[in-house]
Amino acid sequence: MEELQLQSGEHILVAVRKHWLIYVGSAIPFAIFAYLPVLLLNFLATSSFTASAPWASMLTLDNPWVAFVLGAWWLFVWMGAFSAFMHYFLDIWIITNKRIIDVEQHDFFQREVTSLFLDRVEDVTMDVTGFFHTLFGFGNLMVQSAGAADRTELPGISNPKHVRDLLMKEIEKFEKQSQHVIVDKK
Amino acid sequence: MPSAVTPLQLPTWITGASAESVISIIFTLLFIWWLIYTIVAAYHWFRFGRSSWVAVPAIAAHLVISGVIFVFMTVNLH
Query: Does A181 score more than 70 pLDDT?
Result: no
Shortest Cα distance from B66 to chain A (angstroms)? 7
Sort A41 into a burial class: Cβ within 10 Å, 0-12 / 13-18 / 19+: middle
**Chain A residues lying within 8 Å of B26, measured CB to CB:** 72
| pTM of the shown model | 0.80
Residues A75 and A114 in one domain: no
Residue A166 lies in a domain: yes
B47 is in which domain, residue-wise? 18-74
Q: Is the dihedral of CA A129, A130, A136, A140 positive or negative?
A: negative
Distance from CA of B24 to the nearest CA of A (A): 11
What pLDDT, in 10s, does the model give residues A128-168? Answer: 888 888 888 889 988 888 765 677 888 888 888 888 888 88
- Strand ranges of the sheet holding A121-127, from the earlier edge strand across to the other edge: A121-127, A138-145, A151-158
Residue B55 parent element (H or E):
helix B55-74
Tell whether A79 and A130 lie within a shared domain: no
Give pLDDT tens digits for A37-63: 999 888 887 777 666 766 766 777 778
Q: What domain range includes position A126?
A: 94-185
Q: Which of A70, A167, A182 is nearest to A124 (CA)?
A: A167
The amino acid occupying position B16 is G
CB contact under 8 A, A89 and B40: no
Structural domain contains residue A132: yes
Give the C-alpha separation, A171 to A164, whole Å: 10
CATH number at residue A159: 2.30.29.30
Are A163 and A120 found together in one domain?
Answer: yes
CB contact under 8 A, A64 and B37: no
In a domain, B11, yes or no: no
